[in-house]
Structure 1
Amino acid sequence: MNKNDFKKSPYYLQIREVIYNKIISGEYKTGEKLPSEDKLAEEFGVSRMTVCKALAELVNNEYLTRIQGSGTYVSKIRKEGSHLDIVGFNDSMNKKGFKVNTKVFLKQLEVPSKDIVKKLNIPFTQKVIHLKRLRLVNNEPIVVQDTYLNAKLCEELLEVDFENNALYESIRNICGRNIIRSKDIIEAIAADAETSELLEVKVGFPVLLTQRIAYVDNNVPIELTYSLYRSDQYVLEVEHK
């Protein structure tokens, strides 16, 4: 939307756009309570009904959450849709307009543990690519990910700059393989010392641990990822069909 379109659009859409941009930029942070509808109406110079309509659209699109008798709050960042929609963290965030920054702590070939061998269904003698990343949204740490990749299927991933390239996009474009399904297991655990430091939470803070195994054509496992999400930032919604 350019400036002229913005000025011509109805007031509620202009207000929606302003609040949306404040959420995406991080000016309004996750869990933060918005000013009252009366205050927003005064700020924008419109009726309370116009503000309500703008907020309702953002609530319907899950950027805001209304709590009866309390007010309107910025929603947690991540929402998962149907299990049939297989997307990575970058894809999920980009669809909502958020900017993701990634810090790579480790990217190397290594001998896998017995558990990784079993889950990736590979020989003990076959090495895996170990990728450890911290993902940030609006410069706030959201998730730590330990990923193990079947190196035999695409050793070229070792050359990828994962601070500027998404994993699933790289698997598609560099390896020429499509992820056809994934299996996720989720549990709540307490943050240990390393996790608390990386996610900037206290030791013992509740985090969500997800284990994902992703499969490419012919039902071959290519990825095993353990993700630790901040529970105050992340919502998991699963739809069964």
Structure 2
Amino acid sequence: MILRDQIVRGLHPPGAPIPNEDALCAEFGVSRITVRRAVADLETSGFLIKRHGRGTFVSDKLPPGRPSATLGFLDSLKKTDIETQVEVLNVEAAEPPADIARQLDILAGVAAIHAVRLRRRDGAPVMVTEAWVPEAIGQGVTRRELQKRALYQVLISQGIRFGRVVQEITAVAASPTYAKLLNTELASPLLKITRLLYDVKRRPVQHLTVHISPERSRLLMDVSIDSMNTLAAGSIFHDVGPEPTK
């Protein structure tokens, strides 16, 4: 993945040779078998070409680059809905985990609507979403409805007006379930995006978790310069060491 990113960014330009096996082993601290596998994967993906007796080179015909994007939050949801195909894996009324219940202001023992979906693009799995919605506003969230339209559209049709989103981004290792759904290796790195959506009255209306593989997906953010020193641009928290004294 690192070598692929270097190629995409132009650190190894089209037609240029990549470092030999010994150099790659030393750079990444891995075995020769691992290097050969990575190079073979990149060759299969169209990023590298082996030339007998000469070495391995970056392809002159790289796969199309990823376009940049400038979209509002609802526009980005609409874009995802249009460009991907959804498979609804599960929809049920269930008691949410304690941490999610707290964020949604749901009392212990009270059920919420739980929906799990897998999205594909051109047949490739790209995203697993897991949503929790308070039961009082989630009556219209059914398997049939989610097969026809996105969750945010279902909620809007029920009168929900979104006001703000709190988002957290972390890296996690792929569990057996996510590795299988996203067709990736067990414990491979995934990007986990957690969103808590509020309505215009500042009531939490949806808890959403998204898992994506960095091999196929990325997250873009368009932040105004006025927001760069505010929470809107994102704050970094370190979960190590003692809490700072006040």
Do Structure 1 and Structure 2 share a fold, with TM-score over 0.5? yes
How many pairs are equivalent? Answer: 171
How far off its partner does 1:208 sit? Answer: 0.5
Distance in 1, matches of 2:112 and 2:211, equals 21
**Cα RMSD (Å) of the superposition?**
2.7
Query: Residue 229 of structure 1 aligns with which residue?
Result: 212
Q: 1:80 & 1:178 partners in 2: Cα distance?
A: 24
1:155-203 CA distances to partner (integer Å, 9 max, x unpaired)? 2223643122111111111x11121211111111221111111111111
Residue number in structure 1 paired with 2:65? 75
Q: Choose from 194, 214, 219 the match for 2:202.
A: 219
Provide the C-alpha distance between the structure 2 equivalents of 1:191 and 1:156, rounded to a whole number of angstroms: 31
Once the two structures are superposed, the pairs formed by residues 27-46 of structure 1 within 5 Å of their partners are none
TM-score (norm 2): 0.62
- From 63, 75, 78, the counterpart of 1:91: 78
List aligned pairs for 1:187-202, cutoff 5 A.
Answer: 187-202=170-185
**CA shift for structure 1 position 151:** 1.3
> Partners of 1:214 and 1:132 in 2: how far apart?
17
The Cα of 1:240 is off from its aligned counterpart by: 2.7
Shift of 1:32: 5.0
**2:114 is the alignment partner of 1:130:** yes
The answer for the alignment partner of 1:167 in structure 2 is 151
TM-score normalised by length of structure 1:
0.63
User: Distance in 1 between the 2:173 and 2:76 partners?
Assistant: 22
Cα distance change on mapping 1:180 and 1:120 into 2, 3 Å: same
- Compare relative contact order (CA 8 Å, sep 6+) and give the higher one, 1 or 2: 1
Shift of 1:72: 4.7
Is contact 1:88–1:167 with CA below 8 Å preserved after alignment?
no
Per the TM alignment, residue 135 of structure 1 is displaced from its structure 2 partner at its CA by: 0.6
Counterpart selection for 2:100 from 97, 105, 116: 116
Please state how far the C-alpha of 1:152 moved relative to its aligned partner: 1.2
Match of 1:147 among 116, 119, 131: 131
1:116-146 deviation digits (Å, cap 9, x = unpaired): 1111122224310000111111111001111
Residue identity over aligned pairs, in percent, reads 18
Cα distance between partner residues in 1 of 2:120 and 2:106: 32
In the other structure, the counterpart of 2:25 is none
Gaps of 5+ in 2: 1-44, 48-57, 225-246
Following superposition, the deviation at residue 88 of structure 1 comes to: 7.3
CA contact (8 A) 2:164 2:200 kept: no
Q: Which runs of 5+ in 1 are unaligned?
A: 1-30, 34-67
8 Å Cα contact 1:146/1:227 also seen in 2: yes
Offset at residue 107 of structure 1 (A):
0.3
Native 8 Å contact 1:104 1:132 kept in 2: yes
> Any residues of structure 2 matched to 1:18-57 within 5 Å, and which?
none
String of CA shifts for 1:73-111, please: whole Å, max 9, x gaps.
32348x6646xx2237651235xx63x211111101011
**Quick one: structure 1 residues 104 and 89, their matched pair in 2 at CA, closer, same or farther if it must change by over 3 Å?**
farther
In 2: Cα distance, 1:178 partner to 1:232 partner: 34
Q: 1:102 aligns with which of 69, 72, 86?
A: 86
1:124 corresponds to which letter in structure 2?
A
